[in-house]
Structure 1
Amino acid sequence: MELLHFYNRNLFLLVFDCSEYRRRHMALYGSHDIFRADNQQGSAIRRQSAREAVQDAMLWLKDGNSVAIFDGTNITREQRRELSDYCLNDMGFRILFIECVCEDQELLERNIIEILHYSADYKNMSEEEAVDDLRKKLEHYMRQYEPIDAGLETISFVRVENMGETVTAHKVAGQKESGILGYLSGMRCLPQTLYFTRHGESEYNVLGRIGGDAALSPRGQLYARALADHFNSLPAREPYTVWTSELRRTKQTAADIRAPKRAVRALNELDAGICEGLTYEEMQERFPQEFAWRDQDKLHYRYPWGESYIDIMTRLRPVLSALEDEHNVIVVGHQAVLRCMLGYFLDAKLDELPYMNVPLHTIVKLTSYGYKYKVEMTKLPVECVDTHRKQPKNCSINRTSADALTTVPSHYDTLPSNLWQNSAEAQL
Structure 2
Amino acid sequence: MALLSAQPHSDWYTYFWLIYCKIYSAIIWLVGNHCRGADKSRVVITAGVGSQSPSGLHRVRTRRRKPQQQHRVRHIVVALARRPSLRRIVMAPGASTAHAMMEDKEKALHGALASVSLRTRRISQFAPLLIVLVGLPARGKSQLAHRLSRHLNWNGESTKVFDCSEYRRRRMALYGSHDIFRADNAQGSAIRRQSASEAVQDAVLWLKDGNSVAIFDGTNITREQRRELNDYCLGEMGFRILFIECVCEDQELLERNIIEILHYSADYKAMSEEEAVDDLRKKLEHYMRQYEPIDANLENISFARVENMGETVTAHKVAGQKESGILGYLSGMRGMPQTLYFTRHGESEYNVLGRIGGDAQLSPRGQQYAHALAEHINAVANHEPMTVWTSELRRTKQTAAEIRAPKRAVRALNELDAGICEGLTYEEMQERFPQEFAWRDQDKLRYRYPWGESYIDIMTRLRPVLTALEDEHNVVVVGHQAVLRCMLGYFLDAKLDELPYMTVPLHTIVKLTSYGYKYKIEMIKLPIDCVDTHRKQPKNCSISRTTADALVTVPSHYDTLPSNLWQNSAEAQL
Fold similarity call, TM over 0.5 = yes
Q: Alignment partner for residue 349 of structure 2, among 203, 206, 223? A: 203
TM-score by length of 1: 0.96
Change in 2 beyond 3 A, CA 1:307/1:286: same
- Deviation of 1:26 after TM superposition, in Å, equals 1.1
- Deviation of 1:104 after TM superposition, in Å, equals 2.2
What is the aligned length? 424
Contact 2:355 2:423 in 1 (8 A): yes
- Deviation of 1:289 after TM superposition, in Å, equals 0.8
Distance in 2 (CA, whole Å) between partners of 1:183 and 1:236 is: 33
2:210 matched to which residue of 1? 64
TM-score by length of 2: 0.72
User: Secondary structure at 1:47's aligned position in 2?
Assistant: helix
Distance in 2 (CA, whole Å) between partners of 1:7 and 1:166 is: 16
Distance in 2 (CA, whole Å) between partners of 1:402 and 1:41 is: 67
Segments of 5+ residues of structure 1 without an aligned counterpart are: none
User: Secondary structure at 2:240's aligned position in 1?
Assistant: coil
Distance in 2 (CA, whole Å) between partners of 1:356 and 1:214 is: 23
Distance in 1 (CA, whole Å) between partners of 2:514 and 2:566 is: 38
User: Secondary structure at 1:97's aligned position in 2?
Assistant: strand
Q: Deviations over 1:328-358 (max 9, x none)?
A: 1100000000011111111111111111001
- Structure of greater Rg: 2
1:250 matched to which residue of 2? 396
1:216 aligns with 2:345: no
- Deviation of 1:423 after TM superposition, in Å, equals 3.3
Change in 2 beyond 3 A, CA 1:141/1:9: closer
1:161 matched to which residue of 2? 307
Distance in 2 (CA, whole Å) between partners of 1:130 and 1:181 is: 35
- Cα root mean square deviation, aligned: 2.0
1:135 aligns with 2:276: no
- Deviation of 1:367 after TM superposition, in Å, equals 1.1
Between Structure 1 and Structure 2, the one with more helix by share is 2
Distance in 2 (CA, whole Å) between partners of 1:3 and 1:348 is: 18
- Deviation of 1:23 after TM superposition, in Å, equals 0.9
Change in 2 beyond 3 A, CA 1:65/1:427: farther
Between Structure 1 and Structure 2, the one with more strand by share is 1
Contact 2:438 2:550 in 1 (8 A): yes
Contact 1:157 1:169 in 2 (8 A): yes
- Deviation of 1:4 after TM superposition, in Å, equals 9.0
Distance in 2 (CA, whole Å) between partners of 1:131 and 1:200 is: 48
1:273 matched to which residue of 2? 419
- Deviation of 1:63 after TM superposition, in Å, equals 1.4
Contact 1:197 1:364 in 2 (8 A): yes
Contact 1:8 1:321 in 2 (8 A): no
Q: Relative to structure 2, which stretch is displaced further, 251-260 or 391-400?
A: 391-400
Distance in 1 (CA, whole Å) between partners of 2:164 and 2:434 is: 50
- Deviation of 1:46 after TM superposition, in Å, equals 1.2
- Deviation of 1:197 after TM superposition, in Å, equals 0.2
Contact 2:420 2:450 in 1 (8 A): yes
Q: Deviations over 1:200-245 (max 9, x none)?
A: 0000011111000000010000000000011112262321111000
- Deviation of 1:303 after TM superposition, in Å, equals 0.4
Contact 1:208 1:410 in 2 (8 A): yes
Change in 2 beyond 3 A, CA 1:400/1:6: farther
Q: Deviations over 1:166-207 (max 9, x none)?
A: 110011111110111111111110111111000000000111
Contact 1:336 1:354 in 2 (8 A): yes
User: Secondary structure at 2:382's aligned position in 1?
Assistant: coil
2:170 matched to which residue of 1? 24
Contact 2:352 2:558 in 1 (8 A): yes
Distance in 1 (CA, whole Å) between partners of 2:144 and 2:166 is: 14
User: Secondary structure at 1:233's aligned position in 2?
Assistant: helix
Distance in 2 (CA, whole Å) between partners of 1:5 and 1:161 is: 17
Change in 2 beyond 3 A, CA 1:4/1:246: farther
Change in 2 beyond 3 A, CA 1:226/1:295: same
- Deviation of 1:10 after TM superposition, in Å, equals 7.2
Contact 1:5 1:347 in 2 (8 A): no
Contact 2:145 2:215 in 1 (8 A): no
- Deviation of 1:6 after TM superposition, in Å, equals 7.5
Percent identity over the alignment is: 90
